[in-house]
C-alpha cells in the first residue's frame, strides 16, 4: 500500500501487525509513512519515543524529521509544540529563529547576525538560518549568496525556499528562465525580493505557457515590451533554431546576424534535423571563426564547449568511437583545464579503455588539480577499489563525506569501502584493525540485511581470534536480523571460505546451510542467493560450487516462481557466469515456457544442456540458434546476439566450410534488416543524402567501414554479423528494369576524411 501512495492505510496495517507480533517491529517505515501522510504530530510522538534507536540507525532520517518539525513550528503549529519535550532544541531555538526572521524583515542585519550566531551548528533551524543569511547577502556578492545555500540538500523541507532564495543571484536571461520554471507563489516571493514589476511577471507567466519554441518565439515577437535587455538577443537566436522561417522578423527586431552567430545558428538547426555532415561543417566553421577572435577567457571557454560538443555528437552516433571521443574531450580540456565536469567525463571514457595506465594516471592528475572536489574524490576511490587499494579508497571517500555530510551515496560507499578493507585485513591476520573498522561502520548500516552481514564478518573475526563466545553471540545476533531461509548460512559459509577459516568450522556452516533448506524458496531470497554466489565466484571463492551442490534441489523449486522477464534473464545470466548448468537449464526451461521464441532463454537452455561444450550441440539446435540470431539483433539484445554468434563460430557446424555449404536461401537469416537499416542511415549521415548514390560495393569502402565498426561497440557482435552487415548495407540497388545499377567509385581520400576526421 505504501508503494501505491496509500500511507494512511499502511499505518493502520502496521499498527495491526505490531499488536499481533511477538517481538517489537522496526518503527522506521511507520515513521516514514506518518511523515508522508502529513500526520506530523503522531510522527513527532513516535520519534521521541524511539529517539535513541533512530539516532543510531537512521541519523539522516532523524535530521530530515527535525527540519520538518522546525518548518511546521515556524508557522505556529500549537498542537505540535505541545507534543514536544520541554527541553529540546526544537522548542529552545524557536524564539531565536523567529527573532532572526523579524530582524531580516526590518532590515536590522546586526540583530539578524546576533540571532543566527546564537543557534548551534546542529540546530534543527540551521537550514532556515542559512537561508536567512543568504537573503541578507547583497546581490553584488552572488558567490557568497549561493555558498550559504549549498549545505541544504534537495530532500530538505526547506529546499523549495532555498531554491527561491537562490534565484536572487541570477539576472537577465537566466533569471527569466528560472522564473518560468517555479510555481506562482515562489514567483511572487522572488518578485518582492528583487522589486520586479507585476507586468513583467504576468508576461513571463504568459510566455511560460508556450510549450513549443515556435509559439514562444512568436510570443516574444508579439510583445516587444517590457522584456528588454542584453539577454534578449541570445534568446531569440536559440529559439530561431527550430523556426528559421522567422529569421527576417527576428533580424528586424534585434538587428542582422554576425558570421559567428549565423554559423552557430545553422549548426544547431542541422543538428536538430539530424544532418550530421552539415552539422559538423557549420560547427567547424563556427570554431574557425571563434579561433580568429582575440585571446580571452570567453574565447577559450567557447572553444572548449565546441570540442565537448563534438564529443557529444560522436556519442550520439550508432557506432561511437571511444578513441575519437577521448580526443575531443582532451582538446576541450586543453582550452578549459579548470572544468572538473569535463575531467570527470574524460575519466569515464578512460575507465572503459583497456589502457589502465592512462586511466590511473588521469585519476592522479585529477586529484592533484581538484583535491577538494567530492566527485573527483569518489571517482578516484573507484579506481583505488579496482586496484584493491581499499585503505586509500576509504580515505578518499571519507574526505568526500566531510565535504558533503548529507550525501547518502557517499555514506553508502564509505560503508562498502570499510567492509572491503576489513575483509582484506582479516585475510592478512590484522584482526585488531579489522575489529576496529567493523565497529566503526556498524552504526552506518542502512538496513537489517547489511547489519546482519557485518555480524557475520565479526563472527568470523572472533572465530579466527579463538573467541568462541563472541563468535556465537554475533552469529545469533546476525541470525535475528536476517530473514529466514538459507541466505544467512550461505553468506556465512562463503565469507568463511574466503577468509580461510578452519575446515571443521566450514563443515559446521555447511550443515547449517542444509538445515535452512526445508522451507520453499521465495522470489527475493532466490535472487539474493544467486547474486551472492555470482559475486563470490568472481572473487574465485572455492566454496561456491560445493555450497550450490547443497542448494540445487532448493533452488530448482525457485525456477518455477513468478519472476518477471527481466528478473528471469538476470538470474539465467548469473547462473551462466557461475557455470551452474543444471540450475541454468531449469530456469531457462521455465522462462521458455512463459516467453516462447525469446533468443536469450533458447541460448541459455542449449548452452546448459551442452554443459558449455559446443561440440555437443546437435544440428537441430544449431539451426535453431541461427534462426534466433536475427531476432536478438532486431530487439537490440546485443549480448545474446554476440553469445549466439560466438557459440555458432565455435561449433563444428559453424566453421566457414560448413557454413558456406548451407543453402543460399538460409544464409540471409543471419542478416538483420534493422541493423542494416541503421548502418545505411549512418552512412548517409556521414556522407550526406546527396552522396548516397556514389556508394558502391568496392573493397576500399568495405575495408573502411569494417575498420570503423571494429573500433565501435559493435565490434563485439562477432565476425559473421559484421561481415554480413557491411555487405548487405553496400549491396547495389535494382533499377526500374530489374537490372542492377552500377555506381561510380567514390573518392577514397574524401571518404577517409569523412570517416576518421
The vertex-555 CA angle with 549 and 559, nearest 5°, equals 140
* Grid cell at residue 495: 565469507
| 198 vs 316, more confident | 316
Q: What is the pLDDT of residue 662?
A: 31
d(CA 104, CA 689): 64
Q: What is the pLDDT of residue 681?
A: 65
Q: What is the mean pLDDT of residues 62-81?
A: 78
pLDDT in tens, 378-432: 999 999 988 889 899 989 998 988 887 777 788 888 888 888 888 888 888 888 8
Give bridge partners of residue 697 from the DSSP assignment.
none
For 96-121, what is the HEC assignment? HHHHHHHHHHHCCHHHHHHHHHHCCC
Q: What is the mean pLDDT of residues 625-629?
A: 80
At 666, is the pLDDT very low, low, confident or very high (cuts 50, 70, 90)? Answer: very low
pLDDT in tens, 237-252: 777 777 777 778 778 7
Q: Is the pLDDT of residue 668 over 60?
A: no
Q: What is the mean pLDDT of residues 177-193?
A: 76
Q: What is the mean pLDDT of residues 611-631?
A: 75
Strands (DSSP E) contained in 692-741 are: none
Count H helices and E strands in the chain, helices first: 44, 0
Nearest by Cα to 463 from 472, 476, 453, 454: 472
The per-residue pLDDT of the chain, averaged, comes to 75
* Grid cell at residue 436: 576496529
Q: What is the mean pLDDT of residues 161-181?
A: 74
Q: What is the pLDDT of residue 225?
A: 46
At 587, is the pLDDT very low, low, confident or very high (cuts 50, 70, 90)? Answer: very high
CA torsion sign, 505 to 508 to 510 to 516? negative
The vertex-52 CA angle with 36 and 127, nearest 5°, equals 55
Q: Is the pLDDT of residue 593 over 70?
A: yes
The vertex-67 CA angle with 113 and 374, nearest 5°, equals 80
d(CA 724, CA 352): 27
Q: What is the pLDDT of residue 618?
A: 73
| 442 vs 374, more confident | 374
CB 314 within 8 A of CB 321: yes
Query: Phi/psi of residue 627, each to 5°?
Result: -70, -25
Give the HSE-up count for residue 498: Cα atoms under 13 Å, Cβ half-sphere: 24
Q: Is the pLDDT of residue 506 over 80?
A: no
Lowest mean pLDDT among 122-136, 317-331, 626-640, 696-710: 696-710
Q: Is the pLDDT of residue 148 over 70?
A: no
| 514 vs 18, more confident | 18
Q: What is the pLDDT of residue 738?
A: 36
The C-alpha cell 545476533 sits at 477
Q: What is the pLDDT of residue 271?
A: 83
pLDDT in tens, 629-655: 878 877 777 778 878 877 776 655 544
Q: How far is CA 557 from the centre of its chain?
A: 34
Q: Is the pLDDT of residue 116 over 50?
A: yes
Nearest by Cα to 377 from 335, 331, 339, 413: 413
Residue 734, SS3 per DSSP: strand
pLDDT in tens, 730-744: 653 333 333 333 444
Q: What is the pLDDT of residue 708?
A: 65
- With a pLDDT cut of 90, the percent of the chain lying above it is 3
At 92, is the pLDDT very low, low, confident or very high (cuts 50, 70, 90)? Answer: confident
DSSP type of residue 244? G
pLDDT in tens, 330-339: 999 999 888 8
User: Whole-model pTM?
Assistant: 0.59
At 226, is the pLDDT very low, low, confident or very high (cuts 50, 70, 90)? Answer: very low
pLDDT in tens, 121-140: 778 888 888 888 888 777 66
Q: Is the pLDDT of residue 598 over 80?
A: yes
Amino acid at each position: 500500500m505504501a508503494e501505491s501512495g496509500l500511507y494512511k492505510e499502511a499505518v493502520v496495517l502496521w499498527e495491526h501487525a505490531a499488536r499481533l507480533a511477538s517481538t517489537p517491529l522496526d518503527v522506521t517505515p511507520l515513521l516514514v509513512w506518518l511523515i508522508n501522510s502529513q500526520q506530523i504530530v503522531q510522527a513527532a510522538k513516535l520519534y521521541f519515543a524511539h529517539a535513541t534507536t533512530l539516532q543510531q540507525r537512521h541519523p539522516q532520517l532523524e535530521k530530515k524529521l527535525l527540519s520538518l518539525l522546525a518548518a511546521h513550528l515556524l508557522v505556529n503549529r500549537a498542537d505540535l509544540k505541545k507534543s514536544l519535550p520541554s527541553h529540546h532544541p526544537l522548542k529552545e531555538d524557536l524564539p531565536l529563529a523567529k527573532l532572526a526572521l523579524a530582524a531580516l524583515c526590518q532590515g536590522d542585519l546586526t540583530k539578524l547576525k546576533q540571532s543566527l550566531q546564537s543557534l548551534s551548528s546542529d540546530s534543527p533551524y540551521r537550514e532556515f538560518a542559512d537561508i536567512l543569511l543568504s537573503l541578507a547577502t547583497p546581490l553584488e556578492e552572488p558567490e557568497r549568496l549561493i555558498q550559504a545555500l549549498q549545505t541544504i540538500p534537495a530532500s530538505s523541507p526547506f529546499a523549495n525556499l532555498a531554491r527561491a532564495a537562490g534565484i536572487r543571484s541570477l539576472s537577465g536571461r537566466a533569471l527569466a528562465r528560472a522564473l518560468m520554471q517555479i510555481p506562482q507563489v515562489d514567483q511572487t516571493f522572488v518578485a518582492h525580493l528583487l522589486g520586479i514589476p507585476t507586468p513583467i511577471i504576468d508576461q513571463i507567466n504568459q510566455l511560460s505557457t508556450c510549450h513549443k519554441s515556435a509559439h514562444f518565439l512568436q510570443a516574444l515577437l508579439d510583445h516587444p515590451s517590457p522584456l528588454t535587455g542584453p539577454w534578449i538577443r541570445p534568446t531569440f537566436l536559440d529559439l530561431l533554431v527550430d523556426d528559421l522561417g522567422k529569421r527576417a522578423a527576428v533580424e528586424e527586431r534585434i538587428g542582422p546576424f554576425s558570421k559567428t552567430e549565423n554559423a552557430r545558428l545553422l549548426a544547431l538547426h542541422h543538428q536538430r534535423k539530424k544532418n550530421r555532415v552539415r552539422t559538423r561543417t557549420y560547427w567547424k566553421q563556427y570554431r574557425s571563426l571563434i579561433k580568429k577572435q582575440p585571446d580571452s577567457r570567453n574565447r577559450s571557454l567557447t572553444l572548449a564547449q565546441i570540442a565537448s560538443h563534438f564529443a557529444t555528437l560522436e556519442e550520439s552516433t550508432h557506432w561511437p568511437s571511444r578513441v575519437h571521443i577521448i580526443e575531443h574531450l582532451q582538446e576541450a580540456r586543453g582550452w578549459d583545464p579548470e572544468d572538473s565536469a569535463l575531467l570527470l567525463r574524460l575519466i569515464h571514457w578512460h575507465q572503459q579503455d583497456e589502457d589502465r595506465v592512462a586511466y590511473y594516471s588521469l585519476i592522479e592528475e585529477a586529484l592533484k588539480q581538484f583535491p577538494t572536489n567530492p566527485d573527483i574524490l569518489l571517482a578516484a576511490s573507484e579506481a583505488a577499489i579496482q586496484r584493491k587499494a581499499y585503505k586509500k579508497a576509504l580515505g578518499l571517500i571519507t574526505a568526500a563525506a566531510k565535504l558533503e555530510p548529507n550525501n547518502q551515496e557517499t555514506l553508502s560507499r564509505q560503508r562498502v569501502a570499510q567492509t572491503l578493507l576489513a575483509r582484506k585485513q582479516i585475510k592478512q591476520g590484522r584482526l585488531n584493525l579489522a575489529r576496529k573498522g567493523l565497529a566503526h561502520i556498524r552504526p552506518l548500516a542502512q538496513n537489517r540485511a547489511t547489519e546482519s552481514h557485518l555480524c557475520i564478518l565479526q563472527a568470523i573475526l572472533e572465530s579466527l581470534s579463538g573467541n568462541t563466545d563472541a563468535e556465537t553471540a554475533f552469529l545469533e545476533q546476525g541470525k535475528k536480523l536476517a530473514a529466514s531461509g538459507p541466505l544467512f548460512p550461505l553468506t556465512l559459509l562463503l565469507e568463511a571460505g574466503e577468509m580461510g577459516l578452519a575446515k571443521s568450522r566450514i563443515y559446521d556452516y555447511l550443515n547449517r546451510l542444509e538445515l535452512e533448506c526445508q522451507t520453499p524458496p521465495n522470489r527475493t531470497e532466490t535472487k539474493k542467493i544467486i547474486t551472492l554466489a555470482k559475486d563470490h565466484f568472481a572473487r574465485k571463492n572455492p566454496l561456491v560450487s560445493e555450497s550450490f551442490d547443497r542448494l540445487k534441489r532448493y533452488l530448482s523449486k525457485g525456477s518455477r516462481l513468478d519472476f518477471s522477464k527481466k528478473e528471469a534473464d538476470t538470474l539465467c545470466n548469473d547462473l551462466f557466469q557461475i557455470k551452474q548448468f543444471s540450475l541454468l537449464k531449469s530456469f531457462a526451461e521455465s522462462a521458455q515456457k512463459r516467453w516462447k521464441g525469446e533468443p536469450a532463454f533458447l541460448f541459455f537452455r542449449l548452452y546448459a544442456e551442452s554443459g558449455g561444450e559446443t561440440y555437443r550441440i546437435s544440428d537441430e539446435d544449431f539451426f535453431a540458434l541461427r534462426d534466433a540470431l536475427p531476432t536478438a539483433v532486431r530487439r537490440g539484445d546485443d549480448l545474446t546476439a554476440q553469445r549466439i554468434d560466438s557459440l555458432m563460430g565455435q561449433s563444428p557446424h559453424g566453421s566457414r566450410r560448413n557454413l558456406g555449404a548451407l543453402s543460399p536461401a538460409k544464409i540471409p537469416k543471419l542478416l538483420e534488416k534493422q541493423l542494416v537499416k541503421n548502418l545505411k542511415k549512418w552512412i548517409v549521415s556521414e556522407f550526406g543524402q546527396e552522396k548516397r548514390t556514389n556508394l558502391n560495393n568496392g573493397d576500399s569502402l568495405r575495408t573502411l567501414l569494417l575498420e570503423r565498426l571494429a573500433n565501435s561497440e559493435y565490434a563485439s557482435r562477432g565476425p559473421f554479423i559484421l561481415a554480413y552487415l557491411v555487405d548487405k548495407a553496400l549491396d547495389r540497388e535494382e533499377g526500374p528494369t530489374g537490372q542492377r545499377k552500377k555506381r561510380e567509385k567514390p573518392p577514397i581520400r574524401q571518404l577517409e576524411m569523412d570517416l576518421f576526421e
